[in-house]
Structure 1
Amino acid sequence: MMLDLSPLRASRGFQLLYAARAASFLAFGVLGVAVSLQMYVLTSSSLQVALLNAAVAGPMALALIVGGWLADRYDRRAVMVWSRAAHLLTILILMANAALAEPLVWPIYAAAVVGGSTFGFGMPAIMAATPALVGREHLSGAAALTAVAAQVGAIAGPFLAGAITAGAGLVACYGFVAVISGITPIVLAFLPSLPPLAEPSAGIKVSALAADEAGFMGGLRYIARSPLVLSLLLIDLVALVLAVPYVLLPELATHGLGEGPDSIGLLYAAPSVGALFGALGSGRAGVSPFAGRWLVACVAVWACACIALGFSDGMVPALICLAALGGAASLAGILRAALIQRATPDAMLGRVSSLWVLEEAIGPALGGMQAGTTAHLASARIAMVAGGGLCLAITAAIAALTPALGRASLAPEAKALPGSVDMAAVDVR
């Protein structure tokens, strides 16, 4: 059950990619806190902080679509290197503004636009590069390792941001991020050339139309023709919209649990801790011949944890529920990443990845609106119970209507298993 380290042992290319991504996760963790803190200090407005997040999300959504197309047309190494190098402009803008005697607000918004755009241009290429570097037999292990790096960055980044800012100031904090971000494109430049394959790889059997789709909409058309990939994305979206109760935690802490404001930090940290342990314990689940069923089970646990959180009557039960939710969500994400990357031909992987990342960005925002509206009309507890219950029901319906999901396998010997299906042989016509 322990973390699968074989992708790091099997591929020097993945070692480089993983080092670059781990550095980026840490840099993003520090940068997000530092920028939000500076914006609030300058404006004393939480609305401005929210608008700053929107300034990142809008350009990022557009850049993801273009970035997916670029990743399927050009050398993915070049796309990664240039996008990560361009991201340094974001840090330079923030450093220059923070060094002014009276920092301004508009350069922070400008940096947010640049940061969102450069992230969107490069992320599909980064995700599409993984199968070529580790082979499709190590995809789940690679996803688990990436999840660990992401959670470590999410936990360590805010602490580093607070410590550096308090001790040396914002300019030093941005300088720390600039150093880490500057290392990333240098490391990525040592990767081998990663052009998208003109023909489906790893024995993938797809229709000529799906393999040769061109343009920005090719990814959408491919997903619509692939029941497995479509069901994986739908289940993810359902869970993100209905069973992510984080916006309700302040109300739960103060009114539902009768705790003080100091307890909110513990509630927010619990899912990340659970997610970290979920990734560390992913082990054999990622090579299971029943990976699709495990994924459905993880989302079911995720939904049940959300329901249980709505009924929790103490701090300890609430923390356990949130940790279970984070762990189940982490395992589901690892399995989903491996299944999507194994089921998608290399020629389409950039565009499919861009749409997947876009869903991951939009889903929590829609989920926050849904949960907040339901809590306003009823209560936070009802919002959690109703959202979790609806997520459970819709997930069961998707699993029942998509036989390919139940048969989905990540086992190397999947073709020899009775009743199973190799994701590399899915017919999407």
Structure 2
Amino acid sequence: MLIWFYLNSFLTLLIGNMFAYAMIIYSRAVTGSDAVTGLVYAGNLVPPLVLGMYAGTVIDRFTRKRVVMIAQTTFIYTSAAMVFLTTQQFFVVGDVMLIAVMLVNGIGLSFIIPGRMALLGDLFDQEHIPRESMKVQIMIMVGFGLAPFVVGFLRKYFDWYIVFGTIGIMYAFAMLLLLPLKTRPKQLRGDKESAWHSLKAGLRYVRREPLILSLLAATFVGLFLVGPLQVLLPEFSKTRLGLGEAERGSLMTVLGVGLLAGGGLAQALSHKMPRGLMIIAGALAAGLSMLMIPWLAAPVPVAISLGLSGIFGGLMSTLIPAAIQQATVDAARGRVMSIYNIVFQTSVASAAVGLSALAKQTSPAYAFEVGGWLIIAGAGACLLLQPLRKLK
């Protein structure tokens, strides 16, 4: 039954974002450094960059459901590690330990994110995959927006070990939901081909598809805003707006509501307006709304700007992977979605590390401005990509 896939997707996306947000808040509280917090967050993103293509090869060569389930156990291990670190009294928790936990967590993400998207090929016909991909992207946005609120609520009443323990238990339950999921019989996807040749074949396929290349470029530009919003916004809302943990979680939830609205807007307009121009316009508008954040000094205007950032970010992050899925044959789906994940994680990691370092030297407000201008410049460059402009 497909309900098990949807339940697993929603819960794991929510819990995964809860873990990332909790690690950001905890590392900032322990280390007191924006730069270290950026490195901790980037630790979650580095493994997909290193393992991404290999992960895609594994996903295309073996049973996708099994690969996803094994990878999802990683969150249970990392949550257990954080329960130990937040309860032990033997040593001080340092930045190296937190980065190590996030690196292990990132190994699981290397397989989970593209594996979930590739699993759609084992559940749906090709013509239905873009629509189902949009549904998954909307779940991502709901999880992204709801996670800070849930973490803020838990942290308000409980210690950190309860927060991380709850995350681990929830993830174990969500992983088990995949057990009754029925998939189509495994098709031959080059099982006798070596992993190296399979990897090269995936790269050749992407190079031959100008539309996929253009969509990957738009991914890097449009989703650049995720890094600073996750890493810089919590500290900005604390120091500039004077908000507590629960209020900061609520502010991030506004972003999530905007993402959800953007995803719904993408579904409504995807067959009525040119998708390529919507993606470019969304990137431009996201950069402008991000640029506005440091100019605003009150919670309500910042929340409005975040909501707008979410709407345009949600529009892009829904349209782009759906278009990539539509342009991809099933035999290469795991590798192509792994490349998409690599580009996405590279964008987020470079934004998180680079702008966090800039914030340390200047201020979070100035880093937000620089990030906004970079997105605007990238959106202008995307206008030069003919396959993207012509995408209907």
TM-superposed CA distance for 1:354, in Å, is 1.0
- The equivalences for 1:5-404 within 5 A come to 12-13=1-2, 15-102=3-90, 105=93, 108-193=98-183, 197-198=187-188, 214-241=197-224, 246=229, 260-262=241-243, 265=248, 270-288=254-272, 290-306=274-290, 309=292, 319-368=303-352, 369=354, 383=370, 386-398=373-385, 401-402=386-387
Q: How far apart are the structure 2 equivalents of 1:126 and 1:394?
A: 31
TM-superposed CA distance for 1:91, in Å, is 2.1
TM-superposed CA distance for 1:20, in Å, is 0.8
Contact map agreement 2:383 2:389 (CA 8 A) in 1:
no
Q: Residues 71, 136 of structure 1: CA spacing in aligned structure 2 closer, same or farther, 3 A cutoff?
A: same
Q: Residues 88, 244 of structure 1: CA spacing in aligned structure 2 closer, same or farther, 3 A cutoff?
A: closer
Q: Residues 171, 318 of structure 1: CA spacing in aligned structure 2 closer, same or farther, 3 A cutoff?
A: closer
Q: Residues 313, 176 of structure 1: CA spacing in aligned structure 2 closer, same or farther, 3 A cutoff?
A: closer
Bigger radius of gyration: 1
TM-superposed CA distance for 1:173, in Å, is 2.0
SS in 1 for 2:384: helix
Does 1 or 2 have the higher relative contact order (CA < 8 Å, sep 6+)? 2
Q: Residues 391, 164 of structure 1: CA spacing in aligned structure 2 closer, same or farther, 3 A cutoff?
A: same
Contact map agreement 1:75 1:195 (CA 8 A) in 2:
no
TM-superposed CA distance for 1:58, in Å, is 2.5
Letter in 2 for 1:184: A
- Deviation string 1:329-349 (CA, Å, 9 cap, x unpaired) is 211211111110111111111
25-34 or 66-75: which moved more? Answer: 25-34
- Deviation string 1:381-428 (CA, Å, 9 cap, x unpaired) is 863674354233212111xx32xx34545xxxxxxxxxxxxxxxxxxx
Aligned length: 378
- Deviation string 1:315-374 (CA, Å, 9 cap, x unpaired) is 566544442232122112111111101111111111111111121111133335369759
Q: How far apart are the structure 2 equivalents of 1:295 and 1:226?
A: 18
Q: How far apart are the structure 2 equivalents of 1:47 and 1:372?
A: 5
Contact map agreement 2:133 2:322 (CA 8 A) in 1:
yes
SS in 1 for 2:383: helix
TM-superposed CA distance for 1:37, in Å, is 4.2
Q: Residues 367, 126 of structure 1: CA spacing in aligned structure 2 closer, same or farther, 3 A cutoff?
A: same
TM-superposed CA distance for 1:306, in Å, is 4.8
- Give % identity: 22
Q: How far apart are the structure 1 equivalents of 2:312 and 2:187?
A: 34
- Deviation string 1:194-227 (CA, Å, 9 cap, x unpaired) is 5664479xxxxxxxxxxx9933343332221100
Q: Which runs of 5+ in 2 are unaligned?
A: none
- Deviation string 1:8-40 (CA, Å, 9 cap, x unpaired) is xxxx33x22221121112212332243344444
Q: Residues 284, 58 of structure 1: CA spacing in aligned structure 2 closer, same or farther, 3 A cutoff?
A: closer
Contact map agreement 2:221 2:375 (CA 8 A) in 1:
no
Letter in 1 for 2:76: L
Contact map agreement 2:293 2:305 (CA 8 A) in 1:
no
Q: Residues 142, 164 of structure 1: CA spacing in aligned structure 2 closer, same or farther, 3 A cutoff?
A: same
| CA-atom RMSD in angstroms | 3.9
Q: How far apart are the structure 2 equivalents of 1:180 and 1:18?
A: 15
Aligned residue number for residue 414 of structure 1: none
- Deviation string 1:285-322 (CA, Å, 9 cap, x unpaired) is 23447433433343343345456x38967756654444
Contact map agreement 1:30 1:177 (CA 8 A) in 2:
yes
TM-superposed CA distance for 1:279, in Å, is 1.9
Contact map agreement 1:77 1:194 (CA 8 A) in 2:
no
Q: How far apart are the structure 2 equivalents of 1:243 and 1:29?
A: 12
Aligned residue number for residue 424 of structure 1: none
Q: How far apart are the structure 2 equivalents of 1:254 and 1:81?
A: 37
Q: Which runs of 5+ in 1 are unaligned?
A: 1-11, 201-211, 410-429
Q: How far apart are the structure 2 equivalents of 1:90 and 1:103?
A: 18
SS in 2 for 1:162: helix
SS in 1 for 2:38: helix
Contact map agreement 2:263 2:315 (CA 8 A) in 1:
yes
